[in-house]
Each structure stands twice: as structure tokens, then as C-alpha cells.
Structure 1
């Protein structure tokens, strides 16, 4: 590679950091130790990063130089890769001058394995662009152990020979690691074999169909290797990343959070979606770091925060409480602090909606990403919707088959065998069943961890989830006729990693909307699902509702009065709505919560030991639901509002963000 000119290097180094600093100026970023850009949607972040890479590629091509990229795997960068692929296929972006070095690979790991980062990069990026194979570098996870050290040294030499990394993309683990540089890694480390942290292995468990199948080691670029790059962009999405992002950005650099070392780099930036930025001081409590332009939402956020901090009910807050917590501006907006606290208190009180005031005799679609999200997240509301005479359709968007253990398949096959004579399953039909069962049992006996199931097994696992879903709705007074199993195409890979959402998925949702013509739809809004299914289902529903609304517009182009159903966003499986963001709280009695838990229990394949419980919450789903609903009620009580046993929270909107 030709030597980079000083002007090009300066431009590559300074442009994103300058842009981030400019956008963040006067926004209370003094606690942030490096530039941070916040995007409303992950797609906006992906497009910005992809455009940055495309610009660098074109700049280098103009002067006959190569561009050296450091690339990560995982769900966060997929959007970047998809946008780069689109640019290549639709805009002719040429990647022939790009050299790549991937951050890491599990060890040991067959490059053809479903979990291999070699395979990940090929499927998501390399197979779709024209980077010469000789210019692609990924640590080798299938070499003999005695050759690993030499391979790591050679990887470092290859980076050096390429002229160093111009731009490296990073994600961040829940423990704060970058690459596989686990807590305790020093900033001088280079490419090496490392033992994986417990949290990292838990986070990877879903890809490997169980933590016990996750390799204990990996080969990773070192912190020093990463910090040698000219430019660093770390991307993070989702609420579950927010706490560690704040620590990496606002706390001093330390060995416990290796991402914090990026503070020492002259051209490192964090790119965050709104959810991942949620714990930053300028987002969560902006009045502590800047003079803000107060509005009703910020007032509510601040009053609730102060009430919880001081453990005082909202009506008991005094002006001195606000002055002592740097909230002078909001005090001066009102003649009396009582006017403010009364306003916020009454706003929250009116958001508590009892059964008699909930919707009645309307057409409702409840979209459930997995076959149990409906009862886990809004079982109490579902119970009340049915009691109020609404025409409820529960639409299960995916079959959830990958979350069923093989042992459950064996159990149901044994059940069919035992009850076959009772049900008249005899003769040729019984022989056919036994032959098919033997075929399935043989596959399961020889199946390796994480191997994609044969079609018959995938279907059996789907039917197990479907049967459980019907049983759960029966607790609420519904039946099979109220259940729709959409089996959306993006999910049907047989693997944890799914295909992108396409128009085919949107069409499935739109067809149901056109058939039912709902006045209200309920949609999962907890987008921190670590497997991405909730986020992808949300996208498909949002796009389908847009098409549905446009199709029902009048001849003048204006939407018909009933064109847009009211959207209720629910949470519960992965997090709960914050008190200041919720539009409606639905109180639950002890008996209400008991029926909800009973319905959750019907999902026997997910009980006790779920396949993918999520790495950052070891409770069973029924425990999460119970605790979150009780915590919501306790928080409302602490604010001075009526005391309930439990409560579910919802956000309502006519336009899904």
C-alpha cells in the first residue's frame, strides 16, 4: 500500500470526531470523555457508518491507495454491512481496494460452523461485495494449539504490512469488552488467545444452543492493536447496553471496562441509538449537566426522578428539594412549586386506567413476536380485553421452534406412541409413524450442538410452541379460533440468526390487517430482545401499518377516519416502560397476576429451563413478569399514587417510531 499523505490521514482522523463534537456542543456532554453521537434509529446509525466507510473507499481510490478496515461480528454491525452491500449492488461502490482484518474468532472453531465468524462474515458481507479473497483476514480458529502463538504474531505482522488499520468498527459487550478483550486486559495487549469471561459466554449461549457448547477461548486483536487504528467507531444499540456504555463513556478509563480505553484515542467515537444512550447523564438527567429548555416531558421526568431519589411522594416535594438538585429552571416556570407537583401527580393519576375504562367491543390484534410474549408481557391486559367483549386475534409472528429442546420432541413422540392405540393409530398408519419416529430419533442421536434441525423436527418444535400458546390463551377465555400463526419468512432459518425482514414478511402482516380491520393493535416495544426477533417483528408491523394506512386513504390522499388503528406498545419480556414514558397503567389484582402467571406456565417448553432466557437476567420469564409488574405498582405507590398489587404499562401511538 502506498504511504498515506499527511493531509489524508489528518482528514480521516479528524472528520468524525470533529462532527461528533460539533453536534454534541452545548448539550451537556462535559461528563463524556470522548465524542458520542446519538441516533433516533439504529438504521440511521448504520447508514451514517456505511457512508463514512464508502467515502473513505472513494477517497483512497481517487489516489490509488488501499483502505484497511477492522471489522466486527454480531448483530449491531449487520445493518452497516447490509447498507454497504446495497451501495455495491445498486450504486456500484467498488471494494477492490479494501483490505480487511476481523477482530476475533472463537477457538477452537471450524470455519464452516454455524457459529464461526468466518461464516458470519461471508454470509453477511464478503459473499456480496468484491473484496479480493487475498485481502480478507480473519483469525483462524481451527489451527493446532501449538501454532496459535505464531499465528497471532503473523496476524500482527500482516496488519503492520498493510500499513495499519485506517478505520476499525467495534461493538461493546455487556462486560465492556471490545473484540474479546475481557475485563482485566491491559491497553498494551496484542493479538492473542484469551479465556472468555462468564458474561461473554452467557451472551453467546443462544448462538450455540446452550452455554455448555460455547468455546471457552477465542483469538482476538489486543487493545493495543485496536488503539493503533487511525479511527475508531464503536456502535451500540438497545437498552441492555446503556449501563455499560455510560460507564465506558463517563467513568475514568480502567481495566475492568476495556472499552473505556478508547478515551485515550485521539479519534474514537461512540455511535449509539437512543436506547443505548439512555443512561448517559445528558439523556437521563440533563438538568444536572446543562441549562435545559424545559418542556412537559422533561418536567415529568425530573419530578419523578427527584421523588424517587428523595423517597418522597410527589405532592410532598418542596421548592428546596428542587434547588438542592440543580433544578432551579423548572421552579421558576411556576408561581408555586405546588402547581408543578400537582400537575405531574394528576397527569400520572389520570394515566391509571381501570377495566371499566378500557376499550370494549372493538376489533383487536395482539402481535406476539414469540408464542409466549403475549401472556408474559401483557397477560393482564389480554385478560381484561377478553372480559370487556373485544374481538381479539392473537397473532404469533414466529414459531419459536429454535427455543425447544430436543428432549421435548422425544417426549411428545413417546406420548403419541403410547396413546396411538387409544386414538385408533394402528396398522399401516402406526408403522408409518414408527418409521418416521426412528428417522427423527436417529437424527437427534447424531445431532451436533447448534446443528440445524431437519424439517420434520423444526415443524414438531413449532407445533409444541403452538399448542402451548393455545393453552395459554384458554386461561384468558380465548380458544384456537382466536390464534393466528403467521410463521413469518424471516424467522424460518432453523438457526438463531435470522434472515433480514423483506416485503414477504410485511405482506403477511398487512394481509392480516386487511382481513381483521382492527381498531387497536398491540405490538412488542421491548427492542432489547438479545436475539433481535422483537426488533424485526416491530419493523415488519411498522411497515405493514404504513402500507395499510396508505391503502385506506381517501381519494384526496387524506387518511380515512378509521385508517390508522391505535397502536399499544407493550414491554415485559426484556424490560418495562419507564414511569415517565408510559401513557397508560393497567392495575392488576393478586388474582389478575395469578391468572397471568398461570397462562405463562402453559408454555411448558419454556418453563424452568428455557433455551434462551437471555444472558443478563437469570429469572424465569414468569418471575420477570411478576417482579416487573409488582415493581411498577410499587413505584407508582412510592410517588404517592394509589396502591396496587401489580400493574402493566403501555405506550400508545398512531405512528410507530
Structure 2
């Protein structure tokens, strides 16, 4: 008999950190876990605002150490909102930024001076003379003296009251790369290879990333009175665990925060995923054995011992700290059979997939559809569904200039064969081509393309996308190029998701009225586009499912049950779109990561022929073949190799658990309300 599942005690306050039971004794520094990054950002912003107001009340300044990067943007946005709407006064604030690339001009696209002014300083009333950002435009012989002056300015201001930090995937804080110790101060450093790879997307290629930077030292940071480190996303989970659970060491400079008297890690659930109390809580505390936790523990034990689930025996559980699970269930054989059957039922063959229904596949970039769910897409088409593939961004910034040059020459050489023999027209084309080629030849790294060149790059991606879905039996009539506004900056950094973006998605939902939508749940892409597209779809679906969005007479109280997997639906008060008309959301992964076995709702087996067809479709994206512009750090495999390896590994993992042996498999999570 399973013990009653008690919910984890979570605060009902919207922005409160997730309160977890004990079991954090392996953590050498306090860690607060939030369900969503936005909640975390609001909480951090409120802490900063409170500190500002506390100091104002006694007529004192507050000195802040500030970072750049995608993680703190939400904090800056909330502080700006509090300034505009609540009158938060920043006139007593003095800021010192952590770092800047070297060499780097302040007005460069990648400059942290520019970043801070665009995201924060230009929108609040911090006195100009109170803003300090390391200079990356100094002659090399002046850098050492400047760093000493920066340290002196911090001391003169009274020291840092609060430092806000991010964490790099190498474990660095600021640009204190592995090897940096607690004695270090503001200085010029050589950047680690991983850091440069992570920054490659901002600079349009790793070769353009500066090899050095000026950074506050670890010792400078540790001198602050309070430290908050923020981390979001699955790709930060491993390094967060090392920084929190390992002893302080120079390999992970963030681990030195353990020595601080008032340092706290603020992380979202994804970034906390590798902490022992989250991943394997039974190793550190007594747990209430819910079916979900029991399933995870059985899979963990099976993988650890290399034994199929149905081969596990009671002694295996006792030897691996799972006696509480044995006691809760009583019969190990029954428990293992339940977990095995639960997984087996999640394997779906074509006959149990949607048939003759309306389906939208949302693809953040023009290749995510075939990379991440090419096998499923193929089966949906074969099941005679009405499939619309909606490419949310044009992907133009990921096209190399060489591809534009090649296409321009191809068009010029093809004109006679296409019947364009007018010499005046051909001469006009040649002049235009030469102008574009001159621009590309003289373009600086990261410089925004001319708008016509941006369009040409988009058309290259569009043509490849159509060629890819043709492999699956679709054609250009099934492709929608949404060209969402947030993406059209011409640079890697995008605008925030706005009302116009939500409306683009909402209008497509209203037009198609799908019964299924497929959405990228792979949120660890280095440029953040997947996460932003996810948010736009989330907001659009919330509206689509509300009474105001229903045709006249359709708004009514509706049952909340349906065909989503158990535990995925959320009760919602008041009338909403009838369950029969609310689209089932399928979250896919594959470009950057894959769903864990215990989290997957549906496995789609793929034969060798299925996987070969999927790879053929990926190959149609020729501009991304051989060398993608933004492959991300750590993983040098091409995207077709990542897809193949992940699909093969998912199948192999199922086989190791004792389930049917497939050549490959894709994994999906299903829900009626996007988390």
C-alpha cells in the first residue's frame, strides 16, 4: 500500500521561493528554489529595492555590484517598472559593474556599457557620476593602474553592500575563470575556452570573441556585505550542484561563496535539478513516497545497478538507501511491475497517435521541427492529419555571409536559364549584387546586416525549411513563416516578447483551431530564442482558452478532464474553453537536451528507416550543415548528430530498463496548460 502523497509545502505567495523539506545538508550555502525565473527576478528586485529604501531612510547611499548576461535582465526590468510605477528612487545608488571585455569600445554591440544602459541605466535616475563600469578601451599599459583605481573607488564608496552575480557554465563569477582564488582583485584576465564558446553567438563566431576581459576579483566580491547568485535553466544545473555541494575549490570559483557570511543562491527549478535533495532526495532525508517519486527512484536504481526493472529485488533497494520505499509499498515485485507497466503504456505506435486532426507544430527556428520531432512529424503526416508547421523566427542571424554570396552568384548565373534576358535588368541586378558583396566584405563582426541582406538570409532559411518538410510529405502550403517581431533586431540579442508577438501566435490558433500543438520545451539554447517563443505561445494559449476568446454562446463551465497524462492538468476556476476544444500541448526537446525517462509522457519508437528519413530532412538545412553559427558550448556535434545520438540513447535507456528494444525513440511531455 502506497503511503499518502502529501504535497510539498509551497508558499501561496506568487513570488515566494519554493519551500522544500529538510535534506539540504549537503548544500554548503543557502539555496532558494523558485518555480519560475520571473518569480525569482521579482524577489531579487524587491530585495534590492528594500535595501535602497532602508539606506534612504537614514540618509545613506547603497553600493551595488551588478552583472550582465541574460539572467539578470528580469531583475533590471522589474526595477525599472518599480521606478516608473511605484516611484522607486535610485538617486542614492552607486553601482560598480563586475566586468567588461578587453579590448572593447563602450558603444560596441557586445559592450557591457551598452548592455547596462539599454537594459537599466537609461531607464532609472542613478546619477551618471555614480555609475562605474570597467573600461575595455584603455591602452594596455594603463590597465593595471586603472584596475587599482577601480578597487580604490569601491573602497571610497564604502564598499559593496550587495553584489548580484550570475554563474558561467565553467563555474565562474564575473570573469574569474577556473584557477582564480579568493585573494584575487580587479584585474585583466584571459578568458576560458568554455566562456568564449558561450559568448560566440553574441560575437557571430568564437573567432571574434575577445580573449581577455577586466573583472572584479573573487576577493573583491567576497568583501561585499551581501551576495546573491542567480541561475536559471537546465544547462546550469550541473555547475550549480558543484558550486553548492563540493568543497570550495579553484576549479569552480563560485564555490568560494560558501565562505561568505551572507551569500545565497537563487535558482529556478531547472537549475536546481541536479542538487541531491531534488534529484535523489531519498539519499538525504525521509521522503513521502508519491507515485512519481517512487517511479523516479526505481528508474534510478535500475540505471545505477545496470539491472532491468523487473530484475530488481528487495536486497537492491535495502543496499541503496531505499528501505523506506520498500516499507511504503510492501511488495517490491509489485512496485517494479507498476513502474514497468507505467513506462510500457507510454510507448505509442502510429495507430494510437492523432489521426485526421488539426495540428500546429511551432518551431522556434526553421529547423527545430525536424531536428527535435522529425520522426513524430513524419508519423503525423502519414496519419492524414492537417499539419501546419509554424516557423516562429526567420533564423537569419544564423546564416553565414558566404551563403548569401553563393546565392547571389547562383541567381546571377541562373537569370538567362530562367528567361530573364533583359540586359538592363541583368545590369541592375549586377550592381545590386556588387553593393551587397562590398558590404559583406567590409562588415565588422557583429555588425547589423543591411535589411535586404537580412531578408535574403531569411529566404535561405525558409527555402530550406520547405525542402525539409517535403521529405515528410508536406509542401510550402503547410509552412507558415510567422517572422515574429521580437526577433527582428538584426542582432543575436532580441527584444522582449511583446503584445505583437502574442497576437501573431493567437491569430494562428484562432485560424487553425488545432486539437494538438507541438512546442519546443528545449529551453537551454544559448541565444534564448526557444525560451522567448515558449513564452509567446504560453501567453497566446492562455487567452485562446479563455471565455473572451470563444465564439458567442460557447463560453461555459467545462469539465477539466481530458486525455492529458495524469498529473499534468491544472484545475482552473471559472468558465473556459471546453476541454474538447482545448488543444493538447506536446513539449518536445532534442536540439540541446532530451526529456528524462521519468518525466516523459510519450515515447515514439523510430525504426532505422524512420531515423534515416529524419536525418535526410535535417540535411536539407544546408546553411546549418557542417558548421552551425551558434552550436553552443561543450557540444561540437552537428545538429543531425545530436538528434541521432539522443534518439538512439533514449531507445537504449528504455532497453536497459527492460522495455522493448527499439532502434531509436523520440520523447514528449503532454499537458493542457503550459507550465
Same fold? TM cut 0.5: yes
CA apart distance, 1:530: 1.3
For 1:144-155, what aligned pairs fall within 5 Å after superposition? Answer: 144-155=139-150
Matched, 1:494 2:512: no
Matched, 1:385 2:380: yes
1:28–1:289 Cα contact (<8 Å) kept:
yes
1:542–1:656 Cα contact (<8 Å) kept:
yes
Task: Give distance in 2, aligned partners of 1:129 and 1:560.
Answer: 45
Q: Secondary structure of 1:530's match?
A: coil
Match of 2:221 in 1: 226
CA apart distance, 1:24: 5.8
Which of residues 610, 632, 638 is equivalent to 2:656? 638
| Cα gap change, 1:400 to 1:313, in 2 (>3 Å) | same
Matched, 1:371 2:389: no
For 1:55-454, what aligned pairs fall within 5 Å after superposition? Answer: 55-425=50-420, 426-454=422-450
Task: Give distance in 1, aligned partners of 2:224 and 2:67.
Answer: 14
Matched, 1:506 2:502: yes
CA apart distance, 1:435: 1.9
Task: Give distance in 2, aligned partners of 1:616 and 1:505.
Answer: 32
1:24–1:36 Cα contact (<8 Å) kept:
no
Q: Secondary structure of 1:68's match?
A: strand
1:352–1:586 Cα contact (<8 Å) kept:
yes
Which of residues 482, 485, 489 is equivalent to 2:481? 485
Q: Secondary structure of 2:117's match?
A: helix
Task: Give distance in 1, aligned partners of 2:503 and 2:452.
Answer: 26
| Cα gap change, 1:22 to 1:89, in 2 (>3 Å) | closer
Which of residues 621, 625, 628 is equivalent to 2:639? 621
Task: Give distance in 2, aligned partners of 1:259 and 1:175.
Answer: 9
Match of 2:532 in 1: 536
2:309–2:658 Cα contact (<8 Å) kept:
yes
Match of 2:8 in 1: none
Range with bigger deviation, 22-31 or 439-448: 22-31
Matched, 1:564 2:582: yes
Which of residues 30, 39, 45 is equivalent to 1:35? 30
Task: Give distance in 2, aligned partners of 1:474 and 1:25.
Answer: 49
Match of 2:607 in 1: 589
2:169–2:236 Cα contact (<8 Å) kept:
yes
Task: Give distance in 2, aligned partners of 1:618 and 1:497.
Answer: 23
CA apart distance, 1:356: 1.2
Measured against aligned partners, the alpha-carbon deviations of 1:346-371 in whole angstroms (never above 9, x if no partner) come to 00000000111111000000000000
Q: Secondary structure of 1:333's match?
A: helix
Match of 2:555 in 1: 554
Q: Secondary structure of 2:483's match?
A: coil
Range with bigger deviation, 427-436 or 534-543: 427-436
Aligned length: 638
CA apart distance, 1:428: 2.9
Q: Secondary structure of 1:462's match?
A: helix
Match of 1:14 in 2: none
CA apart distance, 1:633: 0.2
CA apart distance, 1:437: 1.0
Task: Give distance in 2, aligned partners of 1:313 and 1:55.
Answer: 54
Matched, 1:573 2:568: no
Measured against aligned partners, the alpha-carbon deviations of 1:595-628 in whole angstroms (never above 9, x if no partner) come to 0000000000000010001112111000000000
Unpaired runs of 5+ residues, structure 1, are: 1-19
Task: Give distance in 2, aligned partners of 1:206 and 1:261.
Answer: 29
CA apart distance, 1:555: 4.8
Q: Secondary structure of 2:534's match?
A: helix
Task: Give distance in 2, aligned partners of 1:646 and 1:276.
Answer: 28
Task: Give distance in 2, aligned partners of 1:641 and 1:40.
Answer: 33
CA apart distance, 1:25: 7.0
| Cα gap change, 1:213 to 1:542, in 2 (>3 Å) | same
2:17–2:34 Cα contact (<8 Å) kept:
no
Matched, 1:603 2:599: no
Match of 1:655 in 2: 673
Match of 2:520 in 1: 524
1:21–1:35 Cα contact (<8 Å) kept:
no
Task: Give distance in 1, aligned partners of 2:526 and 2:325.
Answer: 38
2:545–2:576 Cα contact (<8 Å) kept:
no
Task: Give distance in 1, aligned partners of 2:129 and 2:611.
Answer: 60
CA apart distance, 1:267: 0.4
Q: Secondary structure of 2:180's match?
A: coil
